[in-house]
């Protein structure tokens, strides 16, 4: 087990950004997919899809053994991709439990899912979780792609006030944490995501005009960076923290501009720019998955998180005949009608995920498909929503990860196995090797049995 | 077991503090504790983490304030001593409780108020929009796509909580580019796009379009809204028009109109004013016999100003001109069309099988049934606007707004001297303070570089303006401390900083020229100037921001934007009703502000503001037309904000009311007595039973029978039950399913009430609690930080001042503006904790931490 990088601390991140040295442009960066002539291996991608409030676990886990398993109701839509994914059982998130903090399982489930850290119970300014897996990747490999990471979601938390039992709303709104204090808010408007990836720029403008605009943008960024450094000398610690966030953001953008300038190829997205959020949720989910496909194809990023809903989602599923909000239904306490409705919701989500897998499988990349060259995780930080359990979590890993994974299996791990062991293992495949992530105790075996 | 910690703060008004401690602790309190408490709460057995034997003197109490607040609340709630243990008698308990509260009050009175520190406050979305409006004259909601602002303590303007992610920074950059370009050069060539507005539609239970309203229609074929806006057939939506120009509206109808009828007119309304109409709408009815309107689209081209507008499409005089048998107005006397000929459908095939013949016979019977005589029903007129598609702009106005140009170009020559004037003026206004020559020179370098790249004069100015708009000096409200570090002492904030605090408090926007001038002349602190400015600002239309931003979050009616009542149960909740409910509460707040009324009107003001739609919904007669007007509520059960549709809807679930949510809303927002979150693993409410086999009240019995549940629920549930006559969207009802509503209840202070009117009266009888609530909320909002224990004297002062001035709105605002924390700031602390983010603020009352997403009844 190689130990090449310690768990990144917030201080390290900030200190690294305080200097004005541009990050090195790596020669080994694979110039993205200029054409099929490129015989090199493709970089791996690790994309996470988070479903809120777990699932009706009786209908989740397949029947049968490791290789000859049969999907039950919820995952039945995934049948065509049985040999392209692994269903994992027995994984826990012990840090999701109260551990003396009282109520708030949704906040904890969301916050611990990709961090493996028991979040601090507070509703004020001093939120504290951990660095999430996608951001660990972003911190090390982010400079290889236009975006270090992308965070997507479908629950616009605009004006939603309720938050879990004394925990800040931030814990449920994001599963991605750049630092223990800075959650990465997901973008919910597909048009905006698209514009971020392919620009708001009017590509019909003449090149010299566009060049002038780009130069103006750079000079503005230089200006404000310097302005801010001067300002910082005069500030108290809390204000400095805020300005640090500002500086980090500016730096991020500067790097992205640099990267974009070095990119030679043109990429034409296969879908037109979305106008906004579609009316039907099924269409919305499909669109967000289409965008993730584009992100992979265009090598926009290799680390992405997508929240189908914020943890504790209150979305109503009128289009499948369920007008009640999702969350209260999950507190079924054995009520058959509620269980049925939640099962339908879980199945609905799985259907859209199947759409994604289908698209990935159908998209060629070199001598394989996108599904061969990526790892897509589909899971939740809660298993049963009624008991708020955090053991034996719903977890699927799809894709072959450039030969790193051996799909087509149903693996049941011993109870007490931390989910963070899975993260550590997947991080390995992304060529990122922290000593540990949250409460991890080692790697997960059997994932790659080749 | 970890029970959630909680404490409530009762602003006990009348206790003699300031007197030296008498021997009560030794004589009465300690003996009682020894007899009833030390048994479990001692050094060895620290039950609940509490060792009461450690407190040997009265002083020790105030050092451990949090623990003793817990002790007091448990005694008052009767939770301690626990059931089954011997209880001291009522008088003894009262002595102890009174004594503890007295010690708290003494400590508070002796406490030195501090001004506290606010972390640099990033402009939130509302503030960004308003500031750009005032700075650049642009009004196109630039922050619309910004990510959600983080909120804390119930508000989204808390400095320490607001964060700035890379995504937001990108959007600031993009917005700066776009808005400066818009201001300087106009919208330019805007590509026409199509936007479709199609409200969610639910057919009635029998498949008909309006049948879900059949039993509840407040109108008839001869007495109805002639504008059509309040009818369910209308379509209402907010639409953003990117430029002033011509837009084509395509109106797609659904439903049918019985034949023979006169054609009717469909009107298009913008912001409540009719701007276009299409006559002869039903003249092209596709199927004369069935009168189906499907496919009978019509378009109309309308000139619309830029910006976001309320679009409505409705039928005028919809029920006029119907066939004579409907007995409506202006009946159509034409002959009824002949019955349709179905013979083609009923002809059997040459080699029809017996099954096929049987099917045909059944079809024949069904058709015969349908052709039988039916009574004319209002639901036969099932026209509705299915969707409206807005395409445009065409022939758009591509020029910049002269107002914007006026704000930016303070001189007209295209030379360096003028460039300097323009940039210096803009930076001063944007940074909200005087700018140094060094700062201006740096900005001018940007201008010069831009020129070198080949940009025009205006373009180069634009580059500098963009840089200003993404500078932290613009995006953050930063307050500076004096160089001398006397840790812990307060100092007045600078004049310009005070001007910013004022303008962002009352306008959610930058100081205007007059305020900046007062700051420049250093007169803003003079009491008469300060008061005059505050009064001026409250009268200014920009004070609408206080209504929308403070009011919208305090009363939570902003939440209306994201509620989704189950349309099967609450079919009347369409977009128009939602918009009207929001407008009602906004106008109510605005009125109190403009007329400087008593804030107690929020509790029991016997008036409100209604349009026809809302009045119809509330069952109030005599209000016609789409305009809002003041309506006297005498004779109705409604009063104050508590019975307004907005509040009643945001405090309900999508499928039913919740007495807990409503009780909680009142306790948190009106009485300053928030409740802690529920314990985990609470069993579900059986929704199916509610209204059918068990009333909601019976279902909630468990809240009362279980002593632990009762401590909190005896405070919340009665209030909620008092409001049960209002369903989940605010409509009056006397039954819930098959159970009559019993709106009676008892508050924990013993006061009883029956029905919402009496409830509002009972609440208004405790003005102290309400004035404490609104003061704390508004102070939090104004300061941009959570409140701390050292704010208690400040709050008390503002509340007293409010009471002495008949609770007038302006005296609350002035009280806050003149207070120590608003005027001053603590010097930078020189403590070791400097390297970590500030410790959690211990709030007096957890203002704004909403209950969990867990749905408990």
- In chain B, residues with a C-beta closer than 8 Å to the C-beta of A224 are 467, 470-472
> Stretch B790-796: mean pLDDT, rounded?
91
Structural contact between residues A60 and A346, judged by C-beta atoms closer than 8 angstroms: yes
Pick the residue of B125, B165, B560 with the most A CBs within 10 A to test the interface with A by mutation: B165
Higher-pLDDT residue of B344, B239: B239
Long-range contacts of A281-286 (CB under 8 A, 24+ apart): A281/A154, A281/A315, A281/A317, A281/A319, A282/A319, A282/A348, A282/A351, A282/A352, A284/A154, A284/A190, A285/A154, A285/A349, A285/A352, A285/A355, A286/A352, A286/A355
At B15 the pLDDT is 37
Beta-carbon separation of B163 and A245 below 8 A: yes
pLDDT in tens, B170-189: 899 989 999 999 999 998 87
How does strand A45-50 pair with strand A303-307?
parallel
**Given a cut of 50, is residue B856 above it in pLDDT?**
no
User: What is the least distance, in Å, from the CA of A79 to any CA of chain B?
Assistant: 33
Token code pair at residue A234: 């005069």
Could you give the 3-state DSSP secondary structure of residue B435? coil
> Stretch B741-754: mean pLDDT, rounded?
85
Beta-carbon separation of A220 and B849 below 8 A: no
Among A190-194, B528-532, B853-857, name the one with the lowest average pLDDT. Answer: B853-857
Beta-carbon separation of B120 and A169 below 8 A: no
> Stretch B431-438: mean pLDDT, rounded?
95
pLDDT in tens, B456-467: 999 999 999 999
pLDDT in tens, B228-261: 998 888 999 999 998 899 999 989 888 888 888 8
In the sheet that holds A303-307, the strands lie side by side as: A150-153, A303-307, A45-50, A374-379, A395-398, A85-92, A409-418
ipTM above 0.85, yes or no: no
From the list A428, A413, A402, A383, the residue with the least C-alpha distance to A93 is A383
Burial A115-129 (b: 16+ CB within 10 A, else e): bbbbbbbbbbbbbbb
> Stretch A347-370: mean pLDDT, rounded?
94
Beta-carbon separation of A327 and B834 below 8 A: no
Q: How far apart are CA A160 and CA B68, in angstroms?
A: 34
Torsion sign, CA atoms B322, B328, B334, B339: positive
At B2 the pLDDT is 36
**Given a cut of 50, is residue A13 above it in pLDDT?**
no
User: What is the least distance, in Å, from the CA of B6 to any CA of chain A?
Assistant: 11
- In chain B, residues with a C-beta closer than 8 Å to the C-beta of A158 are 148, 561-562
- In chain B, residues with a C-beta closer than 8 Å to the C-beta of A104 are 677, 852
Q: Name which of A159, A249, A323 is nearest B165 (Cβ-Cβ).
A: A249
- In chain B, residues with a C-beta closer than 8 Å to the C-beta of A231 are 472-473, 478
Residue of B nearest to A189 (CA): B145
Structural contact between residues B462 and B447, judged by C-beta atoms closer than 8 angstroms: no
pLDDT in tens, B690-736: 666 677 787 777 777 776 677 778 888 999 999 999 999 999 999 88
- pLDDT class of B416 with cuts at 50, 70, 90: very high
Among A70-74, A247-251, B436-440, name the one with the lowest average pLDDT. Answer: A247-251
Among A41-50, A205-214, B434-443, name the one with the lowest average pLDDT. Answer: A205-214
Structural contact between residues A94 and A439, judged by C-beta atoms closer than 8 angstroms: yes
**Given a cut of 50, is residue A391 above it in pLDDT?**
yes
The contacts of residue B572 (CB under 8 Å, 6+ apart) are B213, B216, B232, B617, B729, B731
- pLDDT class of B501 with cuts at 50, 70, 90: very high
Structural contact between residues B637 and B694, judged by C-beta atoms closer than 8 angstroms: no
Residue of A nearest to B467 (CA): A220
- pLDDT class of B132 with cuts at 50, 70, 90: very high
User: What is the least distance, in Å, from the CA of A327 to any CA of chain B?
Assistant: 7
Q: Is the peptide bond before A197 cis (omega within 30 degrees of 0)?
A: no
Q: How far apart are CA B502 and CA B516, in angstroms?
A: 11
**Given a cut of 50, is residue B831 above it in pLDDT?**
no
Higher-pLDDT residue of A236, A382: A382
Residue of A nearest to B827 (CA): A236
- Average pLDDT across chain A, whole number: 83
Among A347-351, B344-348, B489-493, name the one with the lowest average pLDDT. Answer: B344-348
Q: Name which of B475, B559, B681 is nearest A159 (Cβ-Cβ).
A: B559
Which element (helix H / strand E) includes B310?
A: strand B307-316
- pLDDT class of A450 with cuts at 50, 70, 90: very low
At B854 the pLDDT is 27
At B295 the pLDDT is 66
- Average pLDDT across chain B, whole number: 84
State the count of interchain CB pairs (< 8 A) between A and B. Answer: 253
Q: How far apart are CA B622 and CA A324, in angstroms?
A: 36
Beta-carbon separation of A249 and B169 below 8 A: yes
> Stretch B576-601: mean pLDDT, rounded?
96
pLDDT in tens, B146-155: 988 988 888 9
**Given a cut of 90, is residue A125 above it in pLDDT?**
no
pLDDT in tens, A302-322: 999 999 999 988 788 888 998
At A438 the pLDDT is 93
- In chain A, residues with a C-beta closer than 8 Å to the C-beta of B152 are 123-125, 168
- Calculate the CA B517 to chain-centre distance: 34
At B344 the pLDDT is 67
Percent over 70 (pLDDT), chain B: 86
At A268 the pLDDT is 65
At B78 the pLDDT is 66
Strands, E, within B71-183: which ranges?
Answer: 121-122
At A323 the pLDDT is 81
Q: Name which of A124, A223, A252 is nearest B467 (Cβ-Cβ).
A: A223
- In chain A, residues with a C-beta closer than 8 Å to the C-beta of B837 are 125-126, 181, 237-238, 241
Q: How far apart are CA B151 and CA B161, in angstroms?
A: 7
Higher-pLDDT residue of A19, B830: B830
- pLDDT class of B217 with cuts at 50, 70, 90: low
From the list B780, B775, B776, B821, the residue with the least C-alpha distance to B505 is B780
- In chain B, residues with a C-beta closer than 8 Å to the C-beta of A323 are 566-569, 654-655
Beta-carbon separation of A219 and B449 below 8 A: yes
DSSP state of A278: -
From the list B220, B290, B215, B282, the residue with the least C-alpha distance to B259 is B290
> Stretch B80-94: mean pLDDT, rounded?
77
**Given a cut of 60, is residue B557 above it in pLDDT?**
yes
Pick the residue of B122, B472, B840 with the most A CBs within 10 A to test the interface with A by mutation: B472
At A163 the pLDDT is 66
Higher-pLDDT residue of B673, A342: A342
Q: Name which of B120, B167, B684 is nearest A331 (Cβ-Cβ).
A: B684
Residue written as token pair 């509520």: B633
- pLDDT class of A431 with cuts at 50, 70, 90: very high
Token code pair at residue B145: 């796509």
**Given a cut of 60, is residue A422 above it in pLDDT?**
yes
> Stretch B726-754: mean pLDDT, rounded?
88
Beta-carbon separation of A103 and B556 below 8 A: no
Token code pair at residue A146: 């236009």
pLDDT in tens, A331-341: 888 889 999 99
What's the CA angle centered on A90, arms A89 and A95, to 5 degrees? 125
> Stretch B347-358: mean pLDDT, rounded?
76
- pLDDT class of B687 with cuts at 50, 70, 90: low
The contacts of residue A222 (CB under 8 Å, 6+ apart) are none
At B355 the pLDDT is 76
Q: How far is CA A178 from CA A14, A136, A193, A257, in A?
A: 11, 8, 19, 20
Higher-pLDDT residue of B206, A286: A286
At A449 the pLDDT is 57
At B722 the pLDDT is 93
User: What is the least distance, in Å, from the CA of A224 to any CA of chain B?
Assistant: 5
The contacts of residue B321 (CB under 8 Å, 6+ apart) are B261, B262, B263, B264, B328, B329, B330, B331, B332
Token code pair at residue B66: 């949090």
Highest mean pLDDT range out of A252-256, B49-53, B119-123, B348-352? B119-123
Q: How far apart are CA B714 and CA B708, in angstroms?
A: 10
At B107 the pLDDT is 81
Token code pair at residue B17: 């503090």
Q: How far apart are CA B412 and CA B400, in angstroms?
A: 16
Q: How far is CA B341 from CA B287, B290, B681, B790, in A?
A: 13, 12, 64, 85
User: What is the least distance, in Å, from the CA of B238 to any CA of chain A?
Assistant: 15
Q: How far apart are CA A124 and CA A169, in angstroms?
A: 10
**Given a cut of 50, is residue A350 above it in pLDDT?**
yes
- Backbone Cα Rg of chain B: 32
């Amino acid at each position: 087990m190689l130990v090449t990088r310690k768990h990144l601390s917030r201080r390290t991140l900030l200190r690294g950004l305080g200097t004005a040295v541009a990050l090195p442009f790596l020669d080994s960066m694979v110039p993205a997919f200029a054409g099929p002539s490129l015989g090199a291996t493709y970089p791996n991608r690790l994309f996470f899809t988070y479903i809120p409030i777990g699932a009706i676990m009786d209908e989740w886990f397949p029947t049968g053994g490791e290789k000859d398993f049969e999907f039950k109701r919820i995952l039945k839509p995934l049948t065509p991709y049985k040999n392209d994914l692994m269903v994992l059982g027995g994984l826990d998130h012990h840090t999701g439990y109260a551990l003396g903090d009282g109520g708030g399982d949704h906040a904890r489930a969301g916050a611990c899912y990709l961090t493996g850290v028991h979040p601090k119970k507070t509703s004020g300014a001093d939120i504290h979780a951990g660095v999430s897996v996608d951001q660990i990747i972003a911190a090390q490999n982010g400079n290889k792609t236009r975006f270090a990471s992308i965070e997507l979601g479908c629950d616009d938390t605009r004006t939603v006030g309720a938050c879990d039992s004394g925990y800040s709303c931030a814990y449920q709104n994001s599963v991605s944490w750049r630092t223990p204090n800075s959650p990465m808010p997901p973008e919910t408007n597909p048009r905006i995501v698209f514009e971020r990836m392919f620009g708001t720029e009017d590509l019909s403008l003449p090149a010299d005009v566009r060049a002038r605009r780009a130069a103006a943008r750079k000079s503005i960024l230089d200006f404000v960076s310097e302005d801010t450094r001067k300002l910082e000398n005069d500030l108290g610690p809390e204000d400095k923290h805020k300005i640090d966030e500002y500086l980090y953001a500016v730096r991020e953008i500067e790097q992205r501009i640099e990267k974009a300038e070095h990119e030679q190829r043109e990429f034409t997205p296969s879908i037109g720019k979305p106008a906004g959020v579609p009316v039907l949720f099924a269409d919305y989910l499909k669109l967000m998955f289409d965008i993730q496909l584009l992100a992979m194809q265009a090598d926009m990023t290799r680390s992405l998180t997508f929240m189908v809903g914020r943890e504790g989602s209150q979305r109503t599923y009128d289009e499948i005949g369920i007008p009640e909000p999702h969350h209260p239904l999950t507190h079924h306490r054995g009520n058959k009608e509620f269980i049925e409705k939640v099962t339908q919701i879980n199945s609905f989500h799985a259907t859209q995920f199947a759409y994604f897998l289908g698209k990935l499988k159908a998209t060629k990349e070199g001598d394989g498909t996108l599904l061969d060259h990526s790892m897509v995780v589909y899971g939740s930080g809660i298993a049963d929503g009624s008991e708020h359990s955090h053991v034996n979590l719903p977890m699927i890993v799809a894709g072959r990860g450039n030969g790193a994974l051996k799909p087509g299996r149903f693996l049941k791990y011993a109870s007490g196995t931390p989910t963070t062991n899975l993260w550590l293992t997947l991080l390995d495949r992304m060529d990122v090797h922290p000593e540990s992530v949250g409460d991890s105790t080692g790697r997960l075996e059997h994932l790659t049995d080749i | 077991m970890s029970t959630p910690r909680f404490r409530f703060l009762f602003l006990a008004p009348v206790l003699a503090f300031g007197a030296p401690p008498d021997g009560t602790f030794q004589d009465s309190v300690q003996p009682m504790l020894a007899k009833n408490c030390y048994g479990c709460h001692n050094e060895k057995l620290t039950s609940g983490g509490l060792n009461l034997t450690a407190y040997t003197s009265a002083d020790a109490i105030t050092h451990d304030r949090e623990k003793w607040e817990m002790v007091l609340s448990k005694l008052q709630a009767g939770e301690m001593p626990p059931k089954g243990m011997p209880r001291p008698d009522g008088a003894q308990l009262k002595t102890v409780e009174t004594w503890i509260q007295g010690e708290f009050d003494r400590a508070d009175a002796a406490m030195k108020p501090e001004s506290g520190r606010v972390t640099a406050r990033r402009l939130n979305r509302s503030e960004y929009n308003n500031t750009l409006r005032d700075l650049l004259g642009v009004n196109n909601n630039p922050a619309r796509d910004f990510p959600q602002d983080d909120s804390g303590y119930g508000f989204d303007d808390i400095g320490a909580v607001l964060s700035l992610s890379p995504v937001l920074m990108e959007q600031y950059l993009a917005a700066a580019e776009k808005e400066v370009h818009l201001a300087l050069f106009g919208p330019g060539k805007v590509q026409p796009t199509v936007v479709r507005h199609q409200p969610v539609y639910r057919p009635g239970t029998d498949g008909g379009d309006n049948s879900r309203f059949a039993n509840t229609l407040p109108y008839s074929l001869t007495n109805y809204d002639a504008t059509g806006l309040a009818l369910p057939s209308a379509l209402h939506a907010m639409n953003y028009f990117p430029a002033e120009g011509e837009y084509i509206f395509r109106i797609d109808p659904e439903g049918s109109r019985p034949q023979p009828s006169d054609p009717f007119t469909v009107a298009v309304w913008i912001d409540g004013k009719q701007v276009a109409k299409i006559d002869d709408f039903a003249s092209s009815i596709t199927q004369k016999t069935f009168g189906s309107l499907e496919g009978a689209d019509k378009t109309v081209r309308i000139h619309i100003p830029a910006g976001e507008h309320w679009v409505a499409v409705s039928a005028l005089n919809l029920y006029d001109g119907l066939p004579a048998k409907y007995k409506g107005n202006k009946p159509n006397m034409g002959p009824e069309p002949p019955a349709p000929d179905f013979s083609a459908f009923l002809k059997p095939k040459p080699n029809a099988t017996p099954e096929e013949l049987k099917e045909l016979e059944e079809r024949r019977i069904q058709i015969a049934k349908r052709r039988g005589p039916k009574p004319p029903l209002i639901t036969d007129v099932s026209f509705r606007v299915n969707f409206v598609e807005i395409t445009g702009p065409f022939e758009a106005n591509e020029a910049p707004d002269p107002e914007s140009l006026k704000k930016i170009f303070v001189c007209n020559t295209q030379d360096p001297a003028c460039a300097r004037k323009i940039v210096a003026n803009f930076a001063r206004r944007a940074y909200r303070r005087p700018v140094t020559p060094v700062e201006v020179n740096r900005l001018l370098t940007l201008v010069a570089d831009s020129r070198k790249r080949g940009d025009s004069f205006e373009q180069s100015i634009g580059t500098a303006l963009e840089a200003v708009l993404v500078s932290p000096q613009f995006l953050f409200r930063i307050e500076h401390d004096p160089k001398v570090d006397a840790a812990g002492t307060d100092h007045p904030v600078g004049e310009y900083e005070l001007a910013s605090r004022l303008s962002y408090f009352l306008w959610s926007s930058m100081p205007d020229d007059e305020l900046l001038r007062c700051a420049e002349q250093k007169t803003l602190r003079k009491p008469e100037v300060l008061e005059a400015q505050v009064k001026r600002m409250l009268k200014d239309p920009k004070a609408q921001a206080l209504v929308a931003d403070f009011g919208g979050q305090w009363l939570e009616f902003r939440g209306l934007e994201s509620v989704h009542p189950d349309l099967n149960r609450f079919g009347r909740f369409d977009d128009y009703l939602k918009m009207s409910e929001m407008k009602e509460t906004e106008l109510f707040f605005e009125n109190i502000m403009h007329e400087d009324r008593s804030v107690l009107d929020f509790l029991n003001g016997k008036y409100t503001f209604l349009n026809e739609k809302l009045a119809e919904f509330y069952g109030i007669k005599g209000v016609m037309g789409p305009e809002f007007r003041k309506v006297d509520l005498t004779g109705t059960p409604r009063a104050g904000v508590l019975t307004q549709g907005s509040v009643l809807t945001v405090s309900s679930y999508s499928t039913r009311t919740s007495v807990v949510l409503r009780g909680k809303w009142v306790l948190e927002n009106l009485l300053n007595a928030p409740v802690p979150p529920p314990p985990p693993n609470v069993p579900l409410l059986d929704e199916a039973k509610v209204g059918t086999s068990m009333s909601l009240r019976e279902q909630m019995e468990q809240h009362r029978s279980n002593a632990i549940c009762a401590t909190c629920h005896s405070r919340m549930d009665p209030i909620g039950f008092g409001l049960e006559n209002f369903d989940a969207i605010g409509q009056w009802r006397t039954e819930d399913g098959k159970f009559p509503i019993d709106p009676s209840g008892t508050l924990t202070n013993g006061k009883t009430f029956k029905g919402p009117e009496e409830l509002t009266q009972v609440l208004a009888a405790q003005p102290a609690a309400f004035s404490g609530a609104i003061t704390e909320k508004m102070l939090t909002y104004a300061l941009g930080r959570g409140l701390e224990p050292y704010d208690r004297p400040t709050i008390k002062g503002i509340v007293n001042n409010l009471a002495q001035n008949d609770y007038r709105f302006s005296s609350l605002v002035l009280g806050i503006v003149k207070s120590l924390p608003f005027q001053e700031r603590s010097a930078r602390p020189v403590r070791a904790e400097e390297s970590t983010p500030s410790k959690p603020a211990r709030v007096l009352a957890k203002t704004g931490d909403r209950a969990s997403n867990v749905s408990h009844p």
